[in-house]
Structure 1
Amino acid sequence: MSYELIALLMFSSMMLMLLTGQRVFAAIGSVAVIASLLLWGDGGSEIAFGAAMKLMKWYPLLTLPLFIYMGYMLSESGIAEDLYKMFHVWMGPIHGGLAIGTILLMVAISAMNGLSVAGMAIGASIALPELLRRGYDKIMVTGVIQAGSSLGILVPPSVVLVLYGMIARQPVGQLWLAGVLPGLLMATMFIVYIVVRCKMQPHLGPALSEEERNVPMSEKLKLLRAGILPLAIFFSMTGLFLMGVTSLVESSAVGALAATIAAIVKRRMTKGVMENTLRKTLAISCMFMWIILAALCFGAVFDGLGAVKAIEALFIDRLGLTPWEVLILMQLSYLIMGTFLDDTAMLVIVAPLYVPLVKLLGFDLIWYGVLYTITCQIAYMTPPFGYNLFLMRAMAPPEVSLTDIYRSIVPFVLIMICALAIVMAFPQIALWLPEWHYSR
């Protein structure tokens, strides 16, 4: 049997196991281990062992549980809710102001957690009922929350970029800095769309009533101080890192400690808050570590088979495609897979194939990590089985139907595609900040 056929058999077996509902790490890891034992006998077991040792020795992986802990501590203690109250009071008087505040809330939560699920949970449970109660169009605001929460996997500290850095063997610090400007670009495009849309159709985002605007300045300042606290935690953490005072792992520890102190100072630290935070942190961290371990094992087997060289020969030599055409095909494949897989599964399935190929084609792997993440954001919101679509359906009130959710994402998906095209056309949007920081 040829190596190409073995690689195809491994890939199809893994996809079949995923379609039967097996856990991602189990499907990928079992196929890799069985294939290595069949190909290389008892010596093949060393591949999985070597992958485990590589995972345990990767120091930046410590950022994963620390940032997840920080995000859940801020969420479980209710400190993140203070942000929405602040945006509600300060942005409410203008048309679409609460929707704009929701986008800013999503950016802030993304900067505190690194997971889109956290932003979706807070947005759907806190922001959506308030927006609907104040007469905002349900289709528009549903799309706002889905699009805003997707920023969680692009804006640092992005957990997805940590996984990509592990698999692609790229510095996580550079990846996080590379995601800053594209993330802010996308958030700005969302806000511009909301402003223009609500200016043309004011009924979609009515301003607050006169009674609700009459909030004493002392109350406004109090909410401003409460809302600034989680932002201050993030900016102090990233500021220490950018100034070179702390390393990446030390910054994550600073963020986790600051979130804990903030909860204690605000008198919101209870046994239940700590228990829920630790349980969720442990569950998410262990899940990601098992997935990374399976991905490393799978990638090692693929490297041993020479599958990357075979794919390169297929695209470049036989089909005669240019490097840019190959890159666009890769992005399209992510969009298709994103209709039925989450971002982590997509990454560990195709990264062993795509990352070495991207390097062979002469593209920057830091830049490609940002492209992959933006494409995942689009795939999250693409029917029929986009990840965010069903998260929103599970969390939204009964008056928001699945049809409404599907309709809501159309303009935001188009905006994301435009943002992806801009970052592809101008790589320095992603590369300027890490190059500037690390050249100092």
Structure 2
Amino acid sequence: MARYKVDIAALSETRFAEQGQLEVGIGYTFFWSGQPKAGLRDASVAFAIRNDIVGRLSCLPQSSNDRLMSLRLPLRGDQFATIIRAYAPPMTSSDAATEKFYEDLHALLATVLKEDKLIVLGDFNARVGTDHATWQGVLSPHGLGSCNDNGILLLRTCAEHCLLMTKTFIRLPMWQKATWVHPRSRHLHLLDYVLVQRRDKQDVLVTKAIPGADGWMDQRLVMSQMRLRLQPHRRPQGKRPPGKFNTVLLNVPAHHLHFSNELANLPVADADTSVENRWCHLRYTIQFTALDVLGHARRQHQDWFDDYAAINALLVEKNQLNKVYVDLPTAANKTAFYRSHHLVQQRLREMQNAWMTRKAEEIQGYADRNKWKNVFAATKAVYGPPVKGATPLLSADERMLLIEKTQILTGWAEHFQSVLNQLSTTPNAAIDRLPEV
């Protein structure tokens, strides 16, 4: 996976029992979901996720059963992508097992938030054919083979949830399109699919089958490269919501006295008015006075790029030379543009190093004077808020993987409760041996 630069891999037939995780020191963490230990392990699905991505997860992968598993991947801000791993029963399975799988899949798809991007990585054991006219928006002319019963169920599911099969929308040679070869007839079939929502069709760069580590096998690795396009947050229309007040100024005696005097000099609401009117008057008085005396707090996060006005002049000059070179691509214009480009890079490195050195000296000065509050405040201003993620944790009986933050906190509380709050019993003989004071 590292050789193919895979970020998240969806696996099937792992044969692991129950639920769990495994980190084997290769840069990936495996999360799996399977049957109980006493059951038949004919399925079991799993995710293999890069460790740096695991650290940013707010919630660990969730298991539905031994054939379905989901992962909610944070993208930017409050935007997420929900990734589902599906492994459908083969054609030799009973109709009841197949219907049960698609019922569970429908239920899982219904839980995905409308705002999330949806990616389904599935070994559906289904042939969907090439009838793109009937399944418009789900299938394209670049399909493969004929359609079977599992394919009809998959196509209906995609149509109901506005999903499309990415591989059929890309023209590929046969060896990059087929994912499975029949062991006897050696016919090529397309059984594995990457499904996305129709609105996210432009996010998919390519979805293709590639040779595995052992060369051509009956099953091939399917890789999908995506560039997720995130919708920018719409600016709120109308009045801008108020920010936080600069309450740090209240630590200064002069500002504290001025704020108190301003509040004391303001008129008080009549006692005859209702409680609601008196509360509104008090709230408005305090907010208006705080805005007038304290003002709004400034952004705490600092960046070296924002502290140098000279950067703008360098970038303007470089952009002008770039425009001249694009309009008239001569050797002289190219030389001038690259000279300016190298100069900007050099100056930016110098500015960044100088800013970091100055900030380090400032923080060290606070530490030398034992002003630890200023040390933490300056460090937070440089690095910004910490990135929070969920740390994997097993339950006390080591049978269940805790994935929700509340469950993880409760698990840690139970652990320390059992470790620290132990009742100790001291025998009388030991007490008698204590020397008398």
Q: Determine if the TM-score, normalized by the shorter chain, exceeds 0.5.
A: no
TM range (shorter): under 0.3
Larger Rg: 2
Question: TM-score, structure 2 length as denominator?
Answer: 0.22
Decide which structure has greater helix share: 1
Decide which structure has greater strand share: 2
The structure with higher relative contact order (CA 8 Å, sep 6+) is 1
